[in-house]
Chains A and B, each alone.
Chain A
Amino acid sequence: MLWIKNVNLVDPTQGLSGVRDVVVRDGIISAIQERLQEQDVLAVLGTARIEEVQQIDGSGKYLFSGLIDVHVHLREPGQEDKEDIRSGSRAAVRGGFTSILAMANTSPVIDQRALVEFVRIQGQRAGMARVYPIAAVTKGFKGLELVEMMDMRDGGAVGFSDDGKGIQNAEMMRLALEYAKLTGCPIISHCEDNDLAGNGVMRRGEESARLGLRGIPASAESVMVARDVLLAGETGGKIHIAHVSTKESVQIIRAAKNIGIDVTAEVNPHHLLLTDKDVTLTGTSFKVNPPLPSMEDQEALLQGLADGTIDMLATDHAPHTWEEKAKPFAEAPFGINALETALAAVWQGLVVKGLLSPEQVVKLWSLNPARRFGLAGGTIQVGSAADMVLFDPLYKEMITAESLESKAQNTPFLGKEMQGFPVMTWVNGELLMENRKILDRK
């Protein structure tokens, strides 16, 4: 039993943004009101003993519905040296995420029901954030045959994606969008034309030329975005564009929405906060795919967020071991470790600067993802499950390898002090993180 007092409750579903008391009983939100009295709380909770109720002073803090990250790489099965479902879902809770969607590019690829169930059950065993499996679109990510989509959905998959690799064959993508209509789940498209991307390692432009690093042109993404929204329009399928990073992609998605195509899109915080100018020859934590955008691209992404073209934030949490990243830039793998720093980064980089409101953050990172993927959560209202985050905008923390729950430390923010962190995370009413520490179960 839980009583959070005087907290700044932000819940866009109810158009709510104000100071409230929130009462939770048996994992369910039981009351939301201004300045509750003790006897009212006891009545709601059906108890006479106030000492059984955990009381939390929420003043100066925000209460958000738990964040939902539709794009994380948990690396299990097969690459547990980078991350596993336990460490990744702990990192999620520490970062304020109560639900995460685990991408299918593991080893083996999640292309059978048994593997979907494995991921789901490992998530339950970890007992941290809710882990929802994303299944592959094609068997073995080969781009040749569709997976058993219905069977996988029944096993717990909430979407389909060959993320990590773009589906090169347009006909394959068309068939996937067509067939996936059976499941009601979206196809998540990693938009990348392999020929245009070539052996590139960063965004093609003056910065890549200066560093002598091979560039990936913006078109490597945008031509695929255009192809996929056209195919979604033609088939009437559901498409979700992963990690949008170019101006042209934003323009195409905006146009597609205007003509009624069922498309949603996500953007990664690092694409909103860093640019190709931040890339250095030894800064492999800045190596990510899609690559860090140009300034102009970044402005377009922010505009797309502001006008609703882009529907959600997602981390694309991609842990890699230190040894893998301790290489010259071109040889290191792509990916940024983000779950534990993303909210702070967005807060200090966008919210504090007035580029995004707290309401938008909740909408983009909790409500919209829940709606698009048909998940529980995304709201704090009476009767809903208590997936919640208490966020302290003043909390400061130095990002160190030791402090991270993730097994990896490939974050551009390593060694930096950040401000604005979740200080408590509840999943289903259970407090799993307090004061930046995971509460281990006995």
Chain B
Amino acid sequence: MLYRGMYDCLLSQAVFSLSGKVIAMEGTPKNRIMDEDGIRRAISRISHEIVEKNKGTDKLVLIGIRTRGVPLAERIKKRIAEFENVQLPIGLLDITLYRDDLSTIDVQPVIHETKVPFSIEGKTVILVDDVLFTGRTARAALDALIDLGRPQKIQLAVLIDRGHRELPIRADYVGKNVPTSSREIISVCLEETDGTEEVLLLEKS
């Protein structure tokens, strides 16, 4: 079951690293870092931290970075609704057009829609993504956000921080810190996008 799940998850992920190379979809599973419960607990904790750090939900908006930041943002919204009884505005961001490696990558990425159906002017934006790695995606997301308006604050929430930053960027909320080597791949699988619920550590093959 474990391996079946991994296989489905890997198949559904065409992962492009921002450092310029297409990461092979094949990888040897080494370790399961989080299971369904682990992910649920991490989301729950991040949700509480967001409310706590911002002293409530006033001016808070959630924006998920495509692809897996989107379901994560939705879960955070749902969780906060459960304990704060507010429905935070939620948007989704496609950062492709802001990538700094378009001219060097082999396969041109498909552009998806950015949907932020509210003004972010003066708001506290919680950017949500699955993995924080080099920081380049977050950088692109910051640029994309600022083109949409002038928020008062932007905070970053990620499920996994695997280190190896190439830019001065850090997350405000982290589900789990996972020290990795550069030969390893972190693969986040979510029910909405991949059909399973787990985080895997893979060895590049």
> Touch between A and B in complex, CB under 8 Å?
no
Q: Which residues of B contact A (CB under 8 A)?
A: none
